[in-house]
Amino acid sequence: MGTVILGSGIAGISAGYHLEKSGENVVIYEKDSDWGGLCGNFTIDGFRFDRFVHFTFAPDEYIKNIFEESSPTFPHPPVSYNYWNGYWLKHPAQNNLWSLPVKEKVKIIEDFVNRPQKEVLEIKNYEEWLRVQYGNYFAENFPFKYTRKYWGVEPEDLETKWVGNRLHVSPLGEVLRGSYEEQAENFYYTKFMKYPKKGGFRSILNKCREGLDIRFNKKVIKINPQEKIVIFKDGTSTKYTRLISSLPLPEIVKMIDGIPEEVKEAGLNLMHTSGYMVSLGFNRPDVAKHLWFYIYDEDILPARVYSPNLKSADNVPEGCSSLQAEIFFANKGGEEITATGKSASGWEIPSKEAVLKNTIEKLAGMGLFKEEEIVVKDIRFEKYANVIFDKDIYKNRATVLDYLNKVGIESIGRFGKWEYFWTHQAFQDGRKVCVQ
């Protein structure tokens, strides 16, 4: 018996590394056949793709040093673009309107000047927040549309505490200057987005992963906190003295013996996005023009597209390039998707075939490539992509986490804490298990 960690994503690896350093005996159990979780990757014919887009911009020197010692990184300036109705705008769009027709710029700026005035405490939801920050016309044509594509819900269904500095709030001068000329200044929340030179994103964890005892293909089906035992799908089990879990909260509430019905219900009411990754490899080196870009057109399924080969040339064979598109849908309580393309609650999720077809046809229609240039195409589905901050998230999350703490289960990471964690925040959360 000793410390058991469930999940070998970034939080689980961090927890294992720091506990081993402090002298604890640790075993990590992972449901997949490899480590890394959403920080992991896969390779097809020499093309490497991460599981969704990842960069690091850790401000903490300790974390930065661990990541850099694991794998030297490329520091990319966070220059990204937006695609809207056939126009390309540097990000953030409201600061770079110069490429739009005059009539569109006038509508955006008029509404920006006359936008609703409300105190922070008066703002009830994300829809109101967007209207107050950007004006009605811009809000309805840009972030409203992106919200539906990225979060899978309407802006009015989201609360606002998660926003923080993720969206740039622009003064009038910035909007006006950007309507006359392209702005050289970057308004992103960090100066550099770092990516490993070799091995894909999970390489930033190489130092931490070394020497850890990770048991693969160990899917948990039951946890008995009274007996301190974890049971796996393969029929095996393990006892523990300490249990640390990075499993998604809607999953772990289904596994615990004797869990109160109200706690289980709270977990199953937590909302999240699920997502497809469409990964494309090309037989020419110059398909990717931007490190990443956002798409607002709602008839184009991907919300965001980025280039693995621009992140690192190590991700593609010589003379080639690549793109990966992300397509998100709302889900609830970790529900499985049925053969009809719906969750049990009725969330509509198109088939893999439909998503792949739309993505290739629409991106080709944007002039990014010709279909005959594709040499690798792949589509994969991730059940958990991101946390949705609906109006009930804090109540439901607290109910589950309070119960887990009560029965001696320490929950960590993005889906274990049910938080909008960046990479370094998930790593730090795993590190905190050493602080008693």
Domain residues of the chain, as ranges? 3-64+197-269+393-434, 96-180, 271-387
Q: Averaged over 57-83, what is the pLDDT?
A: 95
Amino acid at 75: P
Q: Compute the mean pLDDT over every residue in the chain, rounded to the nearest whole number.
A: 94
Q: What is the pLDDT of residue 328?
A: 95
Q: Averaged over 354-382, what is the pLDDT?
A: 97
Q: Averaged over 327-344, what is the pLDDT?
A: 73
Backbone phi, then psi, for 385, in 5-degree steps?
A: -110, -50
**pLDDT surpasses 70 at 343:** no
Q: Same CATH topology for 3-64+197-269+393-434 and 271-387?
A: no
Measured distance CA(253)–CA(268) in Å, rounded: 8
pLDDT in tens, 382-396: 999 999 999 999 999
CA angle (337 as vertex; 154, 9 as ends), nearest 5: 85
Amino acid at 204: I
The fraction of the chain above a pLDDT of 70, given in percent, is 97
Token representation of residue 53: 């887009």
Measured distance CA(186)–CA(73) in Å, rounded: 21
Q: What is the pLDDT of residue 256?
A: 97
Q: What is the pLDDT of residue 169?
A: 87
Residues in the chain: 436
Backbone phi, then psi, for 129, in 5-degree steps?
A: -60, -45
Q: What is the pLDDT of residue 332?
A: 85
Candidate CATH numbers 3.20.20.10, 3.90.660.10, 1.10.3210.10, 3.30.1330.60; the one for domain 271-387: 3.90.660.10
**pLDDT surpasses 90 at 190:** no
Q: Averaged over 57-65, what is the pLDDT?
A: 94
Token representation of residue 358: 């739309």
Q: What is the pLDDT of residue 333?
A: 78
Whole-model pTM: value is 0.94
pLDDT in tens, 212-233: 999 999 999 999 999 999 999 9
- Torsion angle of the four alpha carbons 383, 261, 223, 271, in this order, in degrees rounded to the nearest 10: 20
**Is there a contact between 321 and 286 (Cβ–Cβ < 8 Å)?**
yes
Coil, strand, or helix at residue 39?
helix
Q: Averaged over 59-71, what is the pLDDT?
A: 95
Q: Averaged over 97-102, what is the pLDDT?
A: 96
pLDDT in tens, 75-87: 999 999 999 999 9
Q: What is the pLDDT of residue 338?
A: 58
Q: What is the pLDDT of residue 173?
A: 93
- Between 97 and 332, the more confident residue is 97
The fraction of the chain above a pLDDT of 90, given in percent, is 88
* Secondary structure E strands in 127-228: 193-196, 214-215, 220-224
Amino acid at 338: T
Contacts of 394 (CB under 8 A, 6+ apart): none
Amino acid at 273: T
Q: Averaged over 331-349, what is the pLDDT?
A: 66
Q: Averaged over 126-152, what is the pLDDT?
A: 96
Q: What is the pLDDT of residue 347?
A: 63
**Is there a contact between 307 and 292 (Cβ–Cβ < 8 Å)?**
yes
Residue 120 pLDDT level (bands cut at 50, 70, 90): confident
Coil, strand, or helix at residue 236?
coil
Candidate CATH numbers 3.90.650.10, 3.50.50.60, 3.30.70.260, 3.10.20.10; the one for domain 3-64+197-269+393-434: 3.50.50.60
Measured distance CA(184)–CA(187) in Å, rounded: 10
**pLDDT surpasses 80 at 357:** yes
